[in-house]
Amino acid sequence: KTVSQLGDLRGKRVVIRCDFNVPLNGTTITDDGRIRAALPTLKALLGAGARVTALAHLGRPKGEVNPKFSLAPVAARLGELLGQDVKFATDTVGESAQATSAALTDGQIALVENVRFEPGETSKVDAEREALAAKYAQLGEIFVSDGFGVVHRKQASVYDLAKLLPNAAGELVAKEVEVLSRLTTDPERPYVVVLGGAKVADKLAVIDNLLSVADTLVIVGGMAYTFLKAQGHEVGNSILDESKVETCREYLARAEATGKKILLPTDVVTAAGMDFDARKALGEVTVVPADAIGPQREGLDVGPETVQAIAAEIAGARTVFWNGPAGVSEIADFAEGTKGIAEALASSDAFSVIGGGDSAAAVRTFGYSDDQFGWISTGGGASLEYLEGKELPGLAVLEGND
């Protein structure tokens, strides 16, 4: 069920869960993509005359009030983007929240303080979450679920609240589900999936599920070294997860047996390590073949030959999904691989989807605008779990999804 099916919303009190978990430098929002992504639903609700109270989390304050994780900067930015005042409640379900929400008139919006300041929000005890959800339910008569980035969490404002009020998916949640379901069931071919990031363990279930639907799987980033090891190569001091080498070997064998292509780096950018504070490589930076990484060397990005091969795959694709950087992209010495993938995607006319906070932040930092890509998913863990084929509690609980 979507917002348009909720009937006449004039004067109705709507509680909406958004994902405003944005990166902050002090109180400065460094990427407001998730706030922008919430605008279509919020504008639709406000335009229809609803009285909107928004719930959201920021970071992981572990059930304690911590000013470092206050949503106040988000309320200010949201107000700028909406072009209207966003009233901010200084607590989540206390007097401020109740009074601020109750005082709204038609077409007005309030944001309450970080839901994760409440211990019940992330509690593993059902009754604790349910008790908090009952307080959220006092802030409205209809629930709209639009925090796609958090629908994989069984938390009070995502899951339990939906059981208490008539509800619908917001436009963002509906769009994310439409895009991601296309990637798992009906992609236009050739379909190329590019997976990067540091930890191979985080991506194994996605590889497992997408290996049957994608035509080509490109593996880059820190996780590529476990695959290179599975091919029998030494990887020096590069990130390696010994416990997953066998699984990677099985995936390589399965790909071969089913006529799928797994593209691994053929050259890598190496250094003796890196100095995070100085944001540069330790010692000399060298590009070497992927099967010739020296014992004291660490692979920190893919090399130019690999970038060319990936760009060629992307150029020939009709659908591309990309999640995870190709190297340590926040350090200039090791950003070229990730830049190369972003460039290939931006200039391709395939339906391109970018998932995951790091890749999304990387393309924006490189200066690309969102409209150069088919879709930039607001989900990190949520999009990956969706692509793993898992049931997401925050979606399953919504009306019409059971």
Applying CB under 6 A, which residues contact ligand 3PG? 19, 21, 60, 149-150, 153, 357, 380-381
* Half-sphere exposure at residue 361, Cβ-oriented, CA atoms within 13 angstroms: 16
Nearer to ligand 3PG, 149 or 197 (CB): 149
Q: Indicate which residue of 199, 249, 260, 261 is catalytic.
A: 199
| 161 known ligand binder | no
21 labeled binding residue: yes
Closest approach of ligand 3PG to the CB of residue 62, in Å: 10
Tell me whether residue 381 is one of the annotated catalytic residues: yes
CB 292 within 8 A of CB 283: no
59 assigned binding-site residue: yes
With a CB cutoff of 8 Å and minimum separation 6, the contacts of 59 are: 21, 68, 69, 114, 116
Q: Please, what is the minimum distance in Å from the beta carbon of residue 28 to ligand 3PG?
A: 18
The residue (of 31 and 305) whose beta carbon lies closer to ligand 3PG is 31
Known catalytic residue at 261: no
**H helices within 258-328, ranges in order?**
304-315
Between the CA atoms of 198, 204, 208 and 213, what dihedral angle is there, to the nearest 10 degrees?
Answer: -20
Residues with Cβ within 8 Å of 107's Cβ and at least 6 positions away in sequence, in order, are: 46, 47, 49, 50, 51
Least gap, CB of 394 to ligand 3PG (angstroms)? 11
Residue (37 or 192) nearer to ligand 3PG, CB:
37
Q: What is the rounded CA–CA span in Å between residue 198 and residue 337?
A: 14
Phi-psi domain of 64 (left: phi exceeds 0; alpha: psi -120 through 50; beta: other): beta
**Close Cβ partners of 257 (under 8 Å, ≥ 6 residues apart):** none
- In the annotation, is 34 catalytic? yes
203 is known to lie in a ligand binding site: yes
Nearest distance from residue 181's CB to ligand 3PG, in Å?
19
Catalytic residue among 357, 374, 379, 394: 357
Q: Is 58 annotated as a binding residue?
A: yes
Strand order in the sheet with 298-302: 286-289, 267-271, 298-302
Closer to ligand 3PG at the Cβ: 108 or 323?
Answer: 323
Closest approach of Cβ 357 to ligand 3PG, in Å?
A: 6
CA atoms of 18 and 49, how far apart (whole Å) = 19
CA atoms in the 13 A half-sphere facing the CB of 218:
30
Q: Is there a catalytic annotation at residue 154?
A: no
Active site residue: 34, 175, 244, 364, which one? 34
Among residues 300 and 397, whose Cβ is nearest to ligand 3PG? 397
Binding positions for ATP are 203, 299, 330, 356-359
Binding positions for substrate are 19-21, 34, 57-60, 116, 153
Catalytically active residues are 34, 199, 357, 381
Binding positions for (2R)-3-phosphoglycerate are 34, 116, 153
